[in-house]
């Protein structure tokens, strides 16, 4: 075993041991911040932080509470939160630290701000730039999903393995951001047509990743790859036996400036789709 792999597994053991405490921090934050704010958000409680991106008072309050709770679990770990990075982009440099919490306090903010579902909390633990732990909490269903390097994937206390891809034409969801680049999106559709069923997916990774392991879709294609959106879920998929990787076959990393991520519950189908999507227009 290489030193890198040994370090990854050590980080996974740490993440697994922290799971009950991480889940409690998430539950408390949902109960004290998110659920009381759900369906009560007013115009004064929300703002557009960038084109098409909404932030609410609940995002900021939840991130503060999560950060405080996580810092008590690992005082030496850095914390990279979505809202904090919006104010201080230099925090992204901490993703390569020996230990780093990655926090999405409210994934699915657009739905939440409109009083709708789905939404959830997403947390990852990284060690030297590699994800070693991932946790997703659905406050409405109280569904707990987690994975740790070398420890498998678990949903509501039950270890989860990947599903077989649907017979015939597997279902694939394509994130809405692909549609903002019409030529590239058209090329994707032309290559998948007749081979795969295109299905709608929520703009909420906290809902999508567990759903892929439980009921589908079989694949998901993302354009934007911000670490707080994908680090927890990509680890869930891989620890369950699926594959989450860049279109060129490189492993998913925490570099959110890189575009393109293909996730599949069946590694064989991942290879098939990745081969179809080579040399897309830029």
Residue 261 domain-assigned (yes or no): yes
Using an 8 Å Cβ cutoff, are 135 and 123 in contact?
Answer: yes
Residue 163 domain-assigned (yes or no): no
- Three-state DSSP at 79 gives strand
How far is Cα 138 from Cα 116, in angstroms, rounded to an integer?
13
Assess whether 108 and 235 both reside in one domain: no
- Mention every residue, 6+ apart, whose C-beta is less than 8 A from residue 181: 223
Assess whether 49 and 119 both reside in one domain: yes
Average pLDDT, the chain: 93
- Mention every residue, 6+ apart, whose C-beta is less than 8 A from residue 76: 98, 99
Q: What is the CATH number of the domain that holds 60?
A: 3.30.540.10
In this prediction, residue 167 carries a pLDDT of 66
Assess whether 95 and 136 both reside in one domain: yes
Assess whether 101 and 14 both reside in one domain: yes
Residue 81 domain-assigned (yes or no): yes
Is residue 31 very low, low, confident or very high in pLDDT (cuts 50, 70, 90)? very high
Residue matched to tokens 């991130």:
63
Assess whether 18 and 133 both reside in one domain: yes
How far is Cα 222 from Cα 44, in angstroms, rounded to an integer?
32
3 pLDDT more than 90: no
Average pLDDT over residues 97-117: 97
In this prediction, residue 164 carries a pLDDT of 65
Tens of pLDDT, residues 209-235: 999 999 889 999 999 999 999 999 999
Residue 34 domain-assigned (yes or no): yes
Average pLDDT over residues 264-272: 94
User: Per the structure, how many domains does the chain have?
Assistant: 2
Assess whether 112 and 190 both reside in one domain: no
Q: What is the CATH number of the domain that holds 256?
A: 3.40.190.80
9 pLDDT more than 90: no
User: For residue 273, how far is the Cα from the chain centroid?
Assistant: 21
Using an 8 Å Cβ cutoff, are 43 and 167 in contact?
Answer: no
Residue 112 domain-assigned (yes or no): yes
196 pLDDT more than 90: yes
Range of the domain at 50: 3-151
The predicted model scores a pTM of 0.95
Assess whether 36 and 145 both reside in one domain: yes
Instruction: Kindly report which listed range (35-49, 160-174, 188-202) carries the lowest average pLDDT score.
Output: 160-174
User: For residue 123, how far is the Cα from the chain centroid?
Assistant: 8
In this prediction, residue 76 carries a pLDDT of 95
Q: Final residue of a domain: which of 119, 151, 183?
A: 151
Can you say whether the dihedral through the CA atoms of 42, 48, 116, 118 is positive or negative? negative
Tens of pLDDT, residues 153-174: 999 999 999 876 666 789 999 9
Residues of the chain with pLDDT > 90, as a percent, come to: 81
């Amino acid at each position: 075993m290489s030193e890198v792999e040994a370090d990854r597994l050590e980080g996974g053991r740490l993440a697994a041991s922290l799971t009950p405490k991480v889940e409690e921090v998430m539950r408390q934050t949902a109960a004290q911040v998110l659920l009381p704010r759900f369906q009560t958000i007013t115009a004064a409680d929300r703002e557009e932080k960038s084109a098409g991106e909404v932030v609410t008072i609940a995002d900021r309050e939840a991130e503060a509470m999560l950060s405080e709770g996580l810092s008590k679990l690992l005082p030496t770990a850095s914390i990279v939160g979505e809202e904090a990075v919006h104010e201080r982009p230099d925090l992204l440099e901490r993703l390569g630290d020996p230990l780093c919490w990655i926090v999405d306090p409210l994934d699915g903010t657009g739905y939440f701000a409109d009083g709708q579902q789905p939404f959830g909390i997403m947390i990852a633990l990284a060690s030297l730039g590699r994800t070693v732990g991932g946790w997703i909490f659905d406050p409405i269903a109280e569904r707990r999903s987690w994975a740790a390097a070398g420890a498998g994937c678990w949903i509501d206390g039950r270890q989860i393995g990947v599903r077989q891809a649907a017979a015939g034409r597997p279902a694939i969801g394509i994130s809405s951001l692909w549609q903002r680049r019409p030529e590239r999106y058209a090329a994707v559709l032309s290559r998948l047509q007749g081979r795969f069923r295109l299905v709608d997916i929520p703009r909420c990774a906290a809902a999508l990743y567990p759903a892929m392991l439980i009921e589908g879709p079989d694949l998901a294609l993302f354009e934007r790859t911000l670490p707080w959106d994908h680090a927890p879920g990509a680890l869930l998929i891989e620890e369950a036996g699926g594959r989450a990787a860049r279109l060129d076959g490189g492993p998913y990393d925490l570099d959110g400036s890189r575009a393109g991520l293909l996730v599949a519950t069946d590694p064989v189908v991942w290879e098939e789709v990745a081969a179809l999507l080579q040399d897309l227009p830029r």
